[in-house]
Each structure stands twice: as C-alpha cells, then as structure tokens.
Structure 1
Amino acid sequence: MRRESYRDRAVVVRTHDFGEADRIIVLLTREHGLVRGVAKGVRRSKSRFGSRLQHFVDLDVQLYPGRNLETVTGADTVAYYGSGIIDDYERYTAACAALETAERLAVADADREPWLYDHVTETLARMQTTEHPTLVLDAFLLQAMAHAGWAPSLFDCAQCGASGPHHAFHPAVGGAACTQCRPSGSAEVPEEALHLMWLLSKSHWPAALEIARAGGGRHLADTAHRLTRAHLQWHLEQKVTSLTVMDQS
C-alpha cells in the first residue's frame, strides 16, 4: 500500500553526500522522531531548496515515505539560527555538539514526542547570543539526560541517598557520592560545581551566570562541563565526536 507524504518541523542533525548530486539528510523531527531521508539533486546549483537543508535551520519539511529512506520533496525555512553561531568558533562547536548529542539520544530513546526537537531549537536560539556557549550546551545535556531518565544526582548520594552536599562524583553510581559509597576513580569536586550543574538542569540562568562570572567561576564551569560530559558518555556508551573536538580547542 502506498503511504502518503507528510509534513513536519525538523532540524538537520547530520548530512553526507550520496551519488553525484544527492545528499542523505538526517532530521530530528517534531512528530516523527529521527528521520533519514534523501534530498535528490540538492548539490546542483539550481536546486530549489538545497541551501536550506543545513545545520542551524528550523525547517518545515515535506517527506515521502520510502522503503529505506524518506524522500525530501520540500523544505521551507521557519527560523535561521546560524547568525551568531557560524562565525563564532566556540558557539559553533557547542551547537554542533548539541545536534550530535540530540541524534544519539533520539536513537537511544526511540521517542516520537516533540520534547527533544523543542529543546534543540530553544538551545540553538539561546546559543546565538550567549557569552557562555558551554553553559548553554551543558544545560541542554543535563535536561536531555533527565528527560531520558539518566539525570545525575547532584546533591544526595546517588548510591545510598545520604543527604549532601558531597564532594565526589562518578557516573557509574549515578552522580554525587558520599565518602562511604564513592567508588575508586571518583572525581573530587567542589560542591559549587555540582550546584552549578543543578542550576543549569533547572534553567535557573541568572544564578548560574552569576556563579560563572564570579571569581573562580571559570574553574567551576570547566568542572561542571567535564562531569556533564562524563555522565553523558557513560550512559551513551560511546563518544560524542563533537564534544571531543570542542574540548580540544
């Protein structure tokens, strides 16, 4: 039975060239989860919508179902987030890390509800003007992990529930750990770094930015990012390449 074409809102999370003029587009859609499609002829200069099928664009796409890949038959720009991102290396790498992580989480969660798409577009919009792109990325990662059921414990001990604050963190136990439960290899962290992570996970931006801008704030932000990244990659059981590139810069 032939299935009808459909429309959805989407952001491009990955692309690669296919054949002489086509391109494979991986889309995070609002209503259909992660969709892999082929955009035929978009690498030709006369393509009607090829320039729109890129990162940092909120799209209204039309897709025709296929056996292995959907066919992208139309794409209209709803919002363009590239301004302020593509010309700033730190924002660009952080935004790319958010998109790659969204793809990994969409695969792991196999979820078709709109939360992840909405969260990605909100993050890209914030990334355009922020002075702290790593904080914006970490907020995205922490909230996305919470939605997936992987939120780190940031106050009470993740193992025994002992009331915090604590000064050790390990993804294997689920986050913060007391002195009795901390496993070998736990990171020794200041409680202020865990507090910053908690603020980011709840989108308490004024308080989070106040910590980041205060004396010692850079160290706390770097520590929060390191712990957030470690927790994410422990649960994904694979590296997020964009995070590695970002942290090497």
Structure 2
Amino acid sequence: MPVFRDHAIVLRTQKLGEADRIITALTRAHGQRRIVARGVRKINSKIGARLEPFNIVDLLAFEGRSGLDSLNQVDSLALFGAEISLDFDRYRAASIMAETAIQLTEMDASVHQFNLLSAALKALAGREQAPELLRDSYLLRSLALAGWTVELRSCVVCGSRDNLTHFSVQHGGVVCDNCATPAMSRISFAEYELLAALLIGAWVRVNNSDASSRQHVSDLIAAFVRWQLERGLKSLTIDEIARRAEQQRGNRGERV
C-alpha cells in the first residue's frame, strides 16, 4: 500500500463509528485528502487534539483505494484551532475559509492554496487583523488562485478605464457608468479602493477604510463567491444570518 507524508491543514472532521474520525485535510503537495484516523475519539487518545479544524500538522498516511486514506502518524506544526475557537468572530471567519478551501481544492489543489490558507489562519490566530477583513481578503485571493480574479482595472463590459462606478457579480468585476444596469451595485471610490486593497493584502489601506465601505464590499464579495462556486457556502450563510441578527439587536437598542 503506497505511503505519503505531507504537511496538512485540517479543514473538517466527521465522526466514524464509535471512536474514529474522517479528517478532510488540504495537504501541501497531495491536494485535498480524506483520511481515517482510528481511535482518536477515545479519552486516552494522544493525537485527537492535533486533528481539530484549523490545525496544521505533519502526517504520514497510507493511500486508500476507495478515496479514504488511513492515518499512520501525525505531529503538530501549528495548533491554531484552540486560539481561533476562543473568539466566535474568528471561528466564523475560519469556518468560511475552510469551507471555501474544501470547494476550491476538491478537484484541483495547489501549494499556493495551501500557503494562502495557512497564512490566513495564522493571522486569525494571531489577531493580526479584524476577522471579517481577513475573511474577505482570503475569499478574493483564493478565488483568484482558482482562476476567478475580480477585474478592477477596467470595465468588464466595454474595457473602459474611466468612471468605474458599479460592480457586477455576474461579470466578476467593475463596470463603467455607461455600461451599468439597474441590477448592478453602485460602488464609491472608497469601496473600489478597499476591494483592490483586499485583493492584494494592502493592510494599511484596508485599515484606513470606513465601516460602511467594509460592509458593502463584504456583501459584494459574498455574492461573488456564491455566484462563482455555483452553490452556497453554509458557513457564509450562517455568518450573514448572525450579522443581520446583531444589526437588528443594535437597531432595537437605538430605538430604546
């Protein structure tokens, strides 16, 4: 039975039987793998904590014929899961990142996707930026790596570089004032700048943005992700529901 060893990011875990788990992991060189970890749910397991979502590990596994590999050995590299789980907003952001990675790397993974996700999780665990900004930057950049780069340099309809006042989710980029339709979202120059900064990780510019621009851009990115992936992200939907609930609570508080 072939054996492989690789660095891996734990994306998701599922219970199997009474004591086992199936680990969905993104590896650096072997793409996305589903790996059976025997006995990790037992109380006396020494490796169960290493195989929690958002952790990065060094694993040795036997390749399975049925699409399920079998874990042989695992060592910790970066246990980001525990730190991220302490903060609900960071946990939500990490969950969206992991679910996006599962969809994007299901058929075609690359070392660049691995490196991007590992850097994003490290930033989340280290509280380097606001979780929603890290999430939105990751979404834009991971889709760009998969071939769906947001076009911000010129109108996606006519190619003009002037009066880029709208954003089209369906066309995947900005649209000039002449080509815009009522269905497209108008964006301000500040929102355009924020989109560009998130796409390249220009954090000084990102942090200088205002709350209103951040919210509108976040909504546009969420819609863009749903359109490109052709199926909704469960974690992103839950995140939006939670955000709307928070806004409603805030509005009730203002009325009081």
Alpha-carbon shift at residue 248 of structure 1 (Å): 1.8
Q: Which runs of 4 or more aligned residues in structure 1 lie more than 6 Å from their structure 2 counterparts after TM superposition? A: none
Q: d(CA) in 2 for partners of 1:165 and 1:121?
A: 37
* Aligned residue type for 1:53: L
1:174 aligns with 2:167: no
Q: How does 1:80-119 map to 2 (within 5 A)?
A: 80-107=79-106, 110-111=108-109, 113-119=110-116
Which residue is 2:123 aligned to?
A: 126
Alpha-carbon shift at residue 131 of structure 1 (Å): 4.7
Provide the identity percentage: 32
Highest RCO, 1 vs 2 (Cα 8 Å, sep ≥ 6): 1
Judged with a 3 Å threshold, the aligned counterparts in structure 2 of structure 1 residues 184 and 107 are, in CA distance, closer, same or farther, namely farther
Which residue is 1:230 aligned to?
A: 223
Q: d(CA) in 2 for partners of 1:204 and 1:115?
A: 18
1:186 equivalent among 184, 187, 198:
184
Judged with a 3 Å threshold, the aligned counterparts in structure 2 of structure 1 residues 198 and 159 are, in CA distance, closer, same or farther, namely same
Alpha-carbon shift at residue 78 of structure 1 (Å): 0.5
Normalising by structure 2, what TM-score?
0.89
Q: d(CA) in 2 for partners of 1:208 and 1:82?
A: 25
Q: d(CA) in 1 for partners of 2:187 and 2:52?
A: 39
Deviations 1:36-85 (A, max 9, x none): 11111111112231221111211001110111110011111101213542
Which residue is 2:61 aligned to?
A: 63
Normalising by structure 1, what TM-score?
0.91
Q: d(CA) in 2 for partners of 1:164 and 1:199?
A: 19
Q: d(CA) in 2 for partners of 1:26 and 1:152?
A: 28
Please list every run of 5 or more consecutive structure 2 residues that lacks an aligned counterpart in the other structure.
243-256
Q: Is the 8 A contact 2:163 2:177 kept in 1?
A: no
Q: Is the 8 A contact 1:165 1:191 kept in 2?
A: no
Judged with a 3 Å threshold, the aligned counterparts in structure 2 of structure 1 residues 37 and 165 are, in CA distance, closer, same or farther, namely farther
Judged with a 3 Å threshold, the aligned counterparts in structure 2 of structure 1 residues 37 and 83 are, in CA distance, closer, same or farther, namely closer
CA RMSD of the aligned region, Å?
1.5
Q: Is the 8 A contact 1:38 1:72 kept in 2?
A: yes
The SS at the match of 2:21 is strand
Q: How does 1:22-33 map to 2 (within 5 A)?
A: 22-33=20-31
Q: d(CA) in 1 for partners of 2:128 and 2:234?
A: 23
Q: d(CA) in 2 for partners of 1:208 and 1:30?
A: 29
The SS at the match of 1:141 is helix
Alpha-carbon shift at residue 184 of structure 1 (Å): 4.7
